Structures are given as structure tokens and as C-alpha cells.
Structure 1
Amino acid sequence: MNSRLSFSAAILLLLASCGSATRNNAADSVAVNDTALNVHADNGSSLDVRPLNGYFVKNTIQVNDSLTFWLIDNPATFDSLFGVAKTMNNKIDRPDFGTQVVVAATMPSTFYGTQIQLASATADDLTNNAEMHFVAAGQAEKNSYSITPLWMGSIPKTGRTNIKVYTGDQLTATLTTKE
């Protein structure tokens, strides 16, 4: 008897929930089609960033600032700044400068294992601008060799005019693309 009562109660709850969902969906569709509503589109979206691996900053480049950013839109400039770090096991990601620009972040050489990471990247679809937030973390122990930390990624060429780059939450630079 208890199982029949429980089954009946479950059926009633199921019917009640389906019925109210149908009423809400009908009300929602009317509200969506109402042209008197002041609806604002979400102007922010994720920026499509493709990390590039297998490169190093050439020894002829002196990095003096704590975090230096570059925006590179052609292969000649790219090749003048970065060398290929090819090994037997790694894959070199070559950017397509016809459809992409490269954003690079680097720091002065250090004896502490430091990595630069992209924390977030967003695009403002209304203004066609972008924001990229970077963080850098180093190890406490000193190595016997120095490295020049480098992060590099490509983003689509979409006519973005300004790319604001941040170190954490502090604006470090605004990179301007050529149109």
C-alpha cells in the first residue's frame, strides 16, 4: 500500500513540475519576443588564444623591464626576436601571420625558475578591444644557469585596436594593432 501511495505521489509531482515548466516556457517565450524590453547583449567573451611552444628570446635582445610585452604581426619581426628551441620530442607551433598576431611576454634573465602564465584573456565585442592578464611565479631556489622567461601566444586578426595587458590586476601596457 505504501509503495502505491509513494508511486502516486511521485507521478503527481512529475505532472505538476512538467505543467509549471510548460507555463513558464510559454511566459518566457512571450517575454523574449516582446520588443518593448530593453535587452543588452553581453559584450564580453573569451579571447581565442593559442599558446605557442618551442621558442626562446634571442641572446641579442636585452629585456630590462620586469615584464615586457610585444605585439608581432609579421614573420620578419618574429624571427628577429625569437629563436626555435627544437628537440627530438617537441613540436614547434608556427603562427600564421595571415590570420593571427602574436602576443609575447618576457622578463629579464634570472637564475630562479620563473614562468609567465596567462591568467585570463577576454574580448570586448562592442569596442573590438581585448584584455590579457598575466602572472609570473618563480621558485625560491637559485639554479646554476639563467633563463629568460617567455610566454607566447597567437590571437586571431580581427581588427582589434587595443590589447590591454595586465600584470595581475595592474595595467602594464596597451598594445595597439595596425589596421
Structure 2
Amino acid sequence: MAGSLRRASWNRHLLHAAAAQAPAGMTIEVFDALAAVPLFDEDLELAQPDGPPGVRALRTAVAAADGLLIATPEYNHALPGVLKNALDWLSRESPQGEVLTERPVAVLGASGGPWGTRLAQASLRQVLHTCGALVMPSPTLFVAHAAQRFDAQGQLADPALQASLSRFMQAFAAWIGRVAVPA
């Protein structure tokens, strides 16, 4: 899941690069419907216990996954509101259960600036821990100067970053294997 709604976001490109770097046996499906998730509203939740359609689609996708990979941009030194909103919905009890509790999660991110997404990832990790997710502690991946790391088509063009992303994805596969709760 990319924490940005922009179709050509660096974080969406990073997720597609992660999918290409996934180890054998791991498949990454990018959830591209975050814009369909309405602002969290307990009145909506009470009216539709299984959530509005966008929320149901998000919950279904997360519930079906062995793990959750989140690529976050950094807005004003924190995670984006759209991502926090999605996590607020996912943290609630629903007919599908609590989909974040004990779910293996890995966090990475890209930004155009010099700091990567360190602060956004820190705030995102805090929210995920509060929701009971099992967040991979390391390695971390903070992609700074994203415009220099991707080509005009959005393909990862930095060999050192490709190697780091490959190691990150191998660690995520191992993390899922280590902490995933059997169904």
C-alpha cells in the first residue's frame, strides 16, 4: 500500500520496484484504491458495521495477505493523513476481524528531499505498534532524492538502491515466516 494518492508517486514506484525484487515465492499486490476509503467516521461505522465499499475492499485485501508492505511519503515530518485514515479504519473491529492485529508489516518510503522518510516511518511505526501489527524492526529503507533514483518511466535506476531493496524484501519474507500467525 502506498501512502500517497498520486498515481506517479515515488512510493508507488517503490512498491512496484519492491514487487520486482521480491524473493521467489513472494508475490506483491499493490493496493491502488486508497482514494475510495472515506474519512473515518463512527457514524458510518455504526451504519455499516462491515464498512463502506472502499473500506471493505481495503480490509479484504489486507486480510487476504500474509503481510502488509507500506511505502509512505513524508508530509510535514509525519505520515500522510490518507494513510493514517486507512489505518484508523483497519484498526477497528469488523466482521472480518481485526486485520492489523498480529499482521506482519514492513515499512519503507521515498521522498524528493534529503532525509528520505525517517520521521514519517517513525510515526507510522508508532501507529502500527498501537494497532497490534508486528512491524519488521530492520532493515530500514529511507529513499532520499527519489527523482535521482527512478527513471522517467518510474523504474528504479539506482543499482545500490536495487540491492538494498532486494535485501529489504528478503528480510520481509523472512519476517513473515518468523512471525505470521498460522490461519
Q: Same fold (TM over 0.5)?
A: no
Q: Which has the larger radius of gyration?
A: 1
Higher strand share goes to which structure? 1
Normalised by the shorter chain, which TM-score bucket? Answer: under 0.3
Q: TM-score, normalised by structure 2?
A: 0.21
Higher helix share goes to which structure? 2
